[in-house]
Amino acid sequence: MRQIIIFDTTLRDGEQSPGASMNFSEKMEVAMALDELGVDVIEAGFPIASPGDFESVVEVSKLVKGSSVCGLARCVDKDIDTAYESLKYAVNPRIHIFLATSPIHREYKLKMSADEIVERTVAGVKRGRALCGNIEFSCEDACRTEIDFLCRVVEAAINAGASTVNIPDTVGYTTPHEMFERIDALRNRVPNIDKAVISVHCHNDLGMAVANSLAAVQAGAGQIECTINGLGERAGNCSMEEVVMAIKVRSDIFDAQTQITTQRLYPTSKLVSSVTGLQVPRNKAIVGRNAFAHESGVHQDGMLKERTTYEIIRPEDVGIPKTDLVLGKHSGRAALADRVKSLGFELTAEQINTLFDEFKVLADRKKEVFDGDLRALVQLVLHKSNRNDENVIPKWTLVSYELTTKTGSKPRMTVTLNDGKQEVKDSNDGGDGPVDSMFLVIRKLTGLDISFREMNMLSVTLGEDAQAEVTVLINAGTQTYRGLGVSPDTIEATAIAILNAINRIE
């Protein structure tokens, strides 16, 4: 298979994302991660842009040993000379020279004629080649450049010494079909094209950066310029993790491969997200939190039977430990039973059914049910079905409660219970707080001579919608009865725990 060169520009174009600037040490950390990832070329910065950028490129050149290190330069002598100075320590340095070629850039930005563009291209590439044997030339805004003129510039750049010619979709304007035709035209119309690698640098303004890059590969391009997490100007660049995995998974289509160590994609994505402060969207392909997560009961059942029913990539192949069967309101019994077993519980079919009913109620109240939530529910089911409860019919159940309280005043608690036949309701204006008030009303409604001995509460998971697990000890005569309640509402969990103990007494 053809080997596709992966040119990473996270440290240059990626850092130009608003809010994504990195300090010196962060750049070094990312550079080392890219080297470990197996990136062919690391564009370390734009040396002429600032003293800080220059020093960063120098230090990356010293640090990186596996990848080629590249510095960007406008097609002017000072930029090219500065880029060369910054790359002196690189094992395999590359100077990346760019000059705009489209009519709109020629007229409004450069104010240069087509002939002047060709002349400047030749002069710049020759100067770079005299300093460095690895020169890449970019026709900025190539996808809005007339194809005849683009062929002319590319031919001139190769004749002047460029070993890579880059065709950027600078403003994310083109489509996959157009990109294929443009690369195909260059391969067929530029007589010396075999002396250089065709590269593409696609922006994502219309959401087609990855698709356009892959279309270029199909047309014969040999290098893709991309960034980790798709960072870059405006809507960003071609996402490295997406384009690399597309080539790997669909090698039957592209007949190509990369030398990227794909198991390092997720850790590198997390690193870049951490140092830039730009979070990866949950639904981001390959490295998003949801990329290997399944909540639908149908999907989860299929995954448990055969992973490939709903996953085309193994999470381990991109550095994610495992598939996540998210427990939520769309989950089914199969996923719930599998998770319970993985947590170390052995439940009967009847207990699973009871647990599933409790789980569905909770899932309607929470966005996601975590392992801690599930452990609490399992304990509740086991608590209800242990040997001491074999003859217990849960007579009392909570229907609703109303609480009015403020600092310095006694709470007013109104509770409605079901006694197995009808609903009963009562209120209380006393108590030292909501829990004490709840207990007093329940004692009045049930008519039992009981006292509150002890209460323990803990949060079974993290977050504002975490469940509370409440355990109470209730005295009835000389006997002590334990009750357990679980709910995201702490007062409700307390009421359930008290009633759980009372049903044992009854």
- Tens-digit pLDDT profile for residues 235-283: 999 999 999 999 999 999 999 999 999 999 999 999 998 888 888 998 9
In the predicted structure, residue 406 carries a pLDDT above the cut 90 = no
Q: In the structure, what pLDDT confidence band is assigned to residue 16 with cuts at 50, 70 and 90?
A: confident
Interatomic CA distance for residues 322 and 266, integer angstroms: 12
Give the mean pLDDT of the chain: 90
Given this model, what pLDDT does residue 302 score? 83
pLDDT at 390: 46
What Cα–Cα distance (Å) separates residue 201 from each residue in 139, 329, 342? 10, 42, 46
pLDDT at 198 over 90: yes
Query: Does residue 163 have a pLDDT over 80?
Result: yes
Q: State the pLDDT confidence band at 207, using cuts at 50, 70 and 90.
A: very high
134 and 163 in a common domain: yes
Co-location of 45 and 194 in the same domain: yes
Same-domain status, 263 and 319: no
Domain that holds residue 441: 397-505
The predicted-structure confidence for 296-321, as pLDDT tens digits, reads as follows 778 877 877 887 888 899 989 999 87
Q: Does any domain span residue 373?
A: yes
Q: Which of 129-133, 357-361, 363-367, 469-473 has the lowest mean pLDDT?
A: 363-367
Give the contacts of 291 (CB within 8 A, at least 6 positions apart). Answer: 283, 284, 285, 315, 320
Phi, psi of 200 (to 5 degrees): -130, 145
Lowest-confidence region among 266-270, 447-451, 480-484 = 480-484
Model confidence band, residue 325 (pLDDT cutoffs 50, 70, 90): low
Q: For position 297, what pLDDT does the model report?
A: 75
CA dihedral 23, 29, 34, 38 (to 10 degrees): 160
Q: Could you tell me if 181 and 174 are in contact, meaning their C-beta atoms sit under 8 angstroms apart?
A: no
* pLDDT value for 116: 98
In whole angstroms, what is the distance from residue 424 CA to residue 246 CA?
63
Q: Where would I find the H helices in 72-226?
A: 77-86, 103-104, 114-131, 147-160, 176-189, 209-219
Domain match, 63 and 133 both: yes
Number of domains in the chain: 3
- Contact between 117 and 153 (Cβ < 8 Å): yes
Closest CA to 498 of 410, 427, 435: 435
Residue 172 domain-assigned (yes or no) = yes
Residue 287 within any structural domain of the chain: no
- Residue 154: predicted pLDDT: 98
Q: Is the pLDDT reported for residue 119 higher than 80?
A: yes
Q: What would the two tokens of residue 122 be?
A: 């030749």
Structure-model confidence comparison of residues 31 and 483, the more confident one: 31
Last residue of a domain, one of 276, 311, 332: 276
Residue 281 lies in a domain: no
> How many C-beta atoms lie closer than 10 Å to residue 278's C-beta?
17
Rounded mean pLDDT, 459-480: 79
Residue 158 CB burial class (10 angstroms; 0-12, 13-18, ≥19): buried
Same-domain status, 266 and 201: yes
162 inside domain: yes
User: Which amino acid does the sequence have at 204?
Assistant: N
CB 80 within 8 A of CB 95: yes
Residues 67 and 199 in one domain: yes
In a domain? residue 282: no
Return d(Cα 50, Cα 101) in angstroms, integer.
Answer: 25
What pLDDT score does 20 carry?
Answer: 80
Instruction: Give the pTM.
Output: 0.74
Among 345, 360, 389, where does a domain finish?
A: 389
| pLDDT for residue 26 is more than 60 | yes
Q: What is the pLDDT of residues 39-75, one digit of tens each?
A: 999 999 999 999 999 999 999 999 999 999 999 999 9
Q: Render the burial of 257-273: b for 16+ CB within 10 Å, e for the rest.
A: ebebebebbbbbbbbbb
CA distance linking residue 286 with residue 268, whole number of Å: 12
CA 256/CA 276 separation, integer angstroms: 32
* Statement to judge: residues 172 and 315 lie in one domain: no
Q: Which of 209-218, 347-356, 479-488, 494-503 has the highest mean pLDDT?
A: 209-218
Instruction: State the pLDDT confidence band at 393, using cuts at 50, 70 and 90.
Output: low
Of the three residues 276, 311, 334, the one that is the final residue of a domain is: 276
Nearest to 68 by CA among 141, 151, 6, 120: 6
- Shortest CA distance to 73 belongs to which of 55, 93, 48, 50? 48
In terms of domains, do 237 and 322 share one? no
Q: Is 104 a residue whose pLDDT tops 90?
A: yes
Most confident residue range from 130-134, 286-290, 380-384 = 130-134
The CA-based angle 470-335-375, given to 5 degrees, is 20
- pLDDT of the residue at 344: 78
Percent of the chain with pLDDT over 70: 95
- Same domain as 379, residue 451: no
pLDDT at 388 over 60: no
Report the range of poorest mean pLDDT among 158-172, 187-201, 399-413: 399-413
Determine the Cα–Cα distance for residues 267 and 37; give it in Å rounded to an integer: 10
Per-residue pLDDT at 389 exceeds 60: no
